[in-house]
Amino acid sequence: LTKVVFKPISSDPTRVAALLSGSIDMAYPIPVQDLGRVDSNDGTSAMTGPELRTIFLGMNQSAAELKTSNVKGKNPFADIKVREAVCRAIKIEAIKKKVMRNLADPAAMMISPKLFTGLTDQERIDYDVDAAKKLMADAGYADGFTVTMDCPNNRYVNDEKICTAVVGMMAKIGIKVSLLAQPKAIYFGKVLGPKYDTDFYLLGWTPGSLDSWNVLNNLIRCREDNGNGKFNLGGYCNPRIGELSDMVLSETDIAKRDAMIAEAYTILHTERGYVPLHQQGLAWGKADKV
């Protein structure tokens, strides 16, 4: 290549139209709903592949009372039964097929399996609405409760559509979710520290170092004044994960290190600290001459 011109086109329809008309040679991202048009158009084709970013749901577990809920004096998400009910209410295959048009890999962990292979037997919590309803009743919320869900609408692939699907799934177990979907600049200004103003949210994370320590230290360990756990928006906290995170940082024996990482992910999974959804896919459109 002797010359490359980058042309920002913020509008999805305009970007796709420019590719289909031949005025540009390559475009990214291509919305999943337009992949068929790009492939069927004479002279263009789509390229897709998995990304390392994990999309997940988080719940405020640290507050004594949820700011946006009708439950007063206690926090439903502090109860593991409620968190498991949320996990079991997520029909991930429906999100994959209907929302993501199969351009997603359902996740069982908070990191892509391409980046950590030391825990191959961890599986997603089964989708089971009846079991989720029983868990809600056992926790004392047979009639459910209300809560607001924060969601970006221009940060991840089909982020608002994913959140809309989650709202419907939560309704089946009595959790009445009010969706607050906002542009990423407003969304992150609200949910990130020092405010941490969110009770229920969708977030995505790619470990910049491509290593589990990044995930453990930023997302999973308890929030600390020194910056550890900075992006643990919901305040999930198990001190053992902090200990393991510190040990992982300096351990050079690969087998020992992987065992520590596996222990941390297992603790998180057992305590239903987060709800991993999927690794989103990437989609480019290109002219066939490229």
Provide the pairing of β-strand 44-59 with 275-287: antiparallel
CB under 8 Å to 22, separation ≥6 — which residues?
Answer: 43, 287
Helices 239-250 and 254-270 cross at an angle (nearest 10°) of 160
pLDDT at 94 over 90: yes
| Gyration radius (Cα) of the chain, Å | 20
pLDDT score at 1: 85
pLDDT at 236 over 90: yes
Residue that has been written with the tokens 């950590």 in this structure: 116
pLDDT, tens only, 109-146 = 999 999 999 998 899 999 999 999 999 999 999 999 99
How far is the C-alpha of 123 from the C-alpha of 38, rounded, in Å?
A: 35
How far is the C-alpha of 19 from the C-alpha of 32, rounded, in Å?
A: 15
